[in-house]
Amino acid sequence: MYISGHYFFALNLSEEQILALAPDDASRKSGRGLASPGKWVSKGANEQAIWGECQGSGAKPYQTQVDLGNLAFKCSCPSRKFPCKHGLGLLLLRCKHPQQFTAAAAPAWVTEWLDRRAEKEGLNAAKKDKPVDEAAQAKRLQARQQKVGGGIEELRRWIKDIIRNGLLTIPEKGGAYWENMAKRMIDAQAPGLAARVRGLGEVDFFVEGWQTRFLDRLVRLYMILQGYGRLEELPAPLQEDLKSLVGFPFAQEELNAQEGVRDDWFVLARKTTEEEQLTVERNWLYGWRSKRYALVLQFYVRNQVPGVSLSPGTSMDASLVFYPGAYPLRVLVKEIHNTRLAELPPGYAGWSAVAEQEAANASIYPFADEYPYVVNALKPVFYNNEWWLQDEENRLAAVVRNYSAIWKLLAFSGGSALPMSVIGRENEFEPLGIWYNQEYKIL
């Protein structure tokens, strides 16, 4: 029987990899509790999906289903978490007790859901095949460029006013000060600039050195405006970067037409944040043969399924297409061939090597907020009332403020240096995962 790559991946996820899909610790704990045959009134499976009915507090059991084609979840419970504890529990049960899932014809509530998903994919494909009105498209682009130009001029004056008036009163400004300008950028159809304006207001003005962090963000925002104003004078890759930073999307059709870089891509970490009623998911990867880092960036609303489900600690034989740019990092996952557990990828010797790489990156692309790195040996140390990461040459880099997993990191390290994946820039980094006893542990 033919089994697709995604289906094979879903059936061979380990318990730890399934739990990594949980939105929080509470869901992870509850999912474990539901991975018992006695919790389920019925259950079944076929090549497309697994499903089950879990008895809750009400009279009617919750109907839970998992589409194995791309690891999508659906449940009739009232939870707003994704995936919910029932979806995690069902997948864990399939992992721990596969013999409980005998092949069966899917019930109507499963087939209807699968049919709707297939229909939606078909409609999207038909929409892509519809001929493009190039004249209307060019007219819309010209109108947007005019709006963006007006917004940029207004934002440039706003930044200059901040510098003229000085930074003394910046901490006193309320949220409306930043939000009003961000909304103006949305009106100007420059959502990328709006996000960076909001980022200015997110600086912690109550810690020492906030001025440096604020000015760093302000200057990089101003550099984007100046670069966009001289777009035609810049190299083509940097033009694409600046258009993306302003908020112009890149045509997915052009990316899909490219062959892509096939490699064994190690999934370093997955980070999710809530931004403007959207869930933003960042998956950081490392290519074994290409020795390149990559970012899979996905956006979806609550209860929606992300396009690609990646599990940290696994390595996937996949073809990725890099978005154009001076220092390409973001990628489109074109095809996944298979997935397996992976061993430790090579890393940087220490912070000096990381600093050299950062300098090289900045000379090509000076707008980045963060970069991922694997460092061969780091250990957490407490110095001057702050947590730091120390390399084998005793050089230090600060751990990001309010890092919630510091005690978990300490428990694993026990005062010893471990290979570690981090993300950040300059002198502040967030630990993502470590290699402990030849196994990758997500922090």
Q: What span, in angstroms and rounded, lies between the C-alpha atoms of 399 and 383?
A: 11
Of 141, 145, 132, nearest to 254 (Cα)?
Answer: 132
Does residue 338 or residue 123 have the better pLDDT?
Answer: 338
pLDDT of residue 177: 94
| Residue range 29-39, pLDDT digits in tens | 999 999 998 89
Q: What span, in angstroms and rounded, lies between the C-alpha atoms of 97 and 94?
A: 5
State the burial class of residue 223 (Cβ atoms within 10 Å of its Cβ: 0-12, 13-18, 19+).
Answer: middle
Q: What span, in angstroms and rounded, lies between the C-alpha atoms of 435 and 376?
A: 10
Confidence of residue 182 (pLDDT cuts 50, 70, 90): very high
Confidence of residue 313 (pLDDT cuts 50, 70, 90): confident
Helix-strand-coil percent breakdown of the chain, rounded to 5?
Answer: 40, 25, 30
Confidence of residue 304 (pLDDT cuts 50, 70, 90): low
Q: Are 316 and 260 in contact (CB under 8 A)?
A: no
Q: What span, in angstroms and rounded, lies between the C-alpha atoms of 337 and 404?
A: 35
| Residue range 373-423, pLDDT digits in tens | 999 999 999 998 899 999 999 999 999 988 999 999 999 988 899 999 999
Q: What span, in angstroms and rounded, lies between the C-alpha atoms of 248 and 243?
A: 5
Reduce the DSSP state of residue 261 to 3 states and report it. strand
Of 233, 230, 142, nearest to 189 (Cα)?
Answer: 142
Confidence of residue 258 (pLDDT cuts 50, 70, 90): confident
CA geometry: angle 337, 343, 348, nearest 5 deg = 110
DSSP code of 251?
P
Of 200, 246, 247, nearest to 227 (Cα)?
Answer: 246
Count CB neighbours of 55 within 10 A. Answer: 13
What is the arithmetic mean of pLDDT over 249-263?
84
Q: What span, in angstroms and rounded, lies between the C-alpha atoms of 23 and 309?
A: 13
| Residue range 277-292, pLDDT digits in tens | 677 888 999 999 999 9
Q: What span, in angstroms and rounded, lies between the C-alpha atoms of 1 and 46?
A: 12
| Residue range 200-254, pLDDT digits in tens | 999 999 888 899 999 999 999 999 999 999 999 999 999 999 999 999 888 777 8
Reduce the DSSP state of residue 331 to 3 states and report it. strand
Q: What phi and psi, each to the nearest 5 degrees, are found at residue 79?
A: -65, 145
Confidence of residue 309 (pLDDT cuts 50, 70, 90): confident
The half-sphere exposure of 356 on its side-chain side, counting CA atoms within 13 A, is 5
Q: Are 55 and 41 in contact (CB under 8 A)?
A: yes
